């Protein structure tokens, strides 16, 4: 009886070990070319999108988050120049990572920048209310910023697919104001109650007025 128990214990140990090895290869994919590409992109954006460490071992925050905040607050070409410049460097990593875009998209920082470009440029172009019927809102954006939007949209499509892009687009539409602000005594009296663009115009009505309707082949 003791001998049988000893054999069973050895078999159990062997079985657990074998299952553990099998689980490792099933759930932990082997390091591949796209992992190397993603790692290279991370290294290329240290200081911009990821913290850098000084020679003294001090961690320095990346610069892009501040550039995003400045762009939101200042809402001008000069106030957004750093954000546009640094966002382009992120989008460029997607463009040179052909076949590995989805792996870059798994990194939350990379995905976040693409979404920030789509959101911020859509909001800047839209303005404080819907553009007139038959017009596409562009705000103060120039050709270079429209090109950045198109490049970010294509990178997002390559990384996440059409379904996710459409979902993100509809979320952006719902964040745009569907009504102009009304001011009384220099105070906005409807800013807290304004309906969203999607609620007022429907997704199709927002789309034709938004940057998402751009013919991007003209901006590459």
Q: What is the pLDDT of residues 199-217, one digit of tens each?
A: 999 999 999 999 999 999 9
**What pLDDT shows up at residue 8?**
55
SS3 label, residue 33: helix
Across the range 65-75, mean pLDDT stands at 96
SS3 label, residue 194: coil
Rounded CA-CA distance 51/63 in Å is: 9
Lowest-pLDDT range of 2-6, 32-36, 63-67, 174-178? 2-6
Q: Which of 215, 171, 175 is nearest to 197 (CA)?
A: 175
- HSE-CB at 25 with a 13 A cutoff on CA atoms is 5
Please provide residue 177's backbone torsions phi and psi, each rounded to the nearest 5 degrees.
-70, 135
Share of the chain above pLDDT 90, in %: 75
**What pLDDT shows up at residue 27?**
53
Q: Where are the domains of the chain?
A: 1-30, 64-218
Q: Is the pTM of this model over 0.85?
A: no
């Amino acid at each position: 009886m003791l001998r049988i128990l000893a054999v069973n214990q050895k078999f159990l140990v062997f079985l657990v070990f074998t299952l553990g090895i099998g689980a490792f290869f099933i759930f932990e994919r082997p390091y591949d070319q796209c992992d190397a590409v993603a790692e290279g992109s991370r290294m290329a954006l240290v200081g911009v999108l990821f913290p850098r460490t000084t020679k003294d071992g001090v961690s320095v925050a990346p610069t892009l988050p501040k550039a995003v905040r400045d762009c939101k607050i200042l809402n001008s070409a000069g106030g957004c120049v750093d954000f546009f410049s640094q966002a382009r460097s992120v989008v460029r990593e997607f463009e040179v990572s052909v076949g590995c875009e989805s792996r870059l998209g798994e990194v939350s920082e990379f995905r976040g920048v693409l979404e920030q470009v789509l959101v911020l440029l859509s909001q800047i172009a839209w303005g404080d209310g819907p553009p007139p019927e038959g017009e596409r809102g562009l705000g103060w954006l120039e050709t270079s910023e429209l090109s950045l939007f198109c490049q970010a949209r294509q990178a997002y499509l390559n990384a996440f697919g059409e379904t996710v892009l459409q979902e993100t687009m509809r979320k952006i539409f719902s964040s745009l104001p569907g009504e102009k602000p009304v001011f009384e005594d220099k105070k906005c009296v409807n800013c807290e109650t304004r309906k969203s663009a999607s609620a007022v115009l429907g997704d199709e009505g927002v789309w034709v007025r938004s940057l998402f309707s751009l013919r991007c082949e003209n901006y590459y």
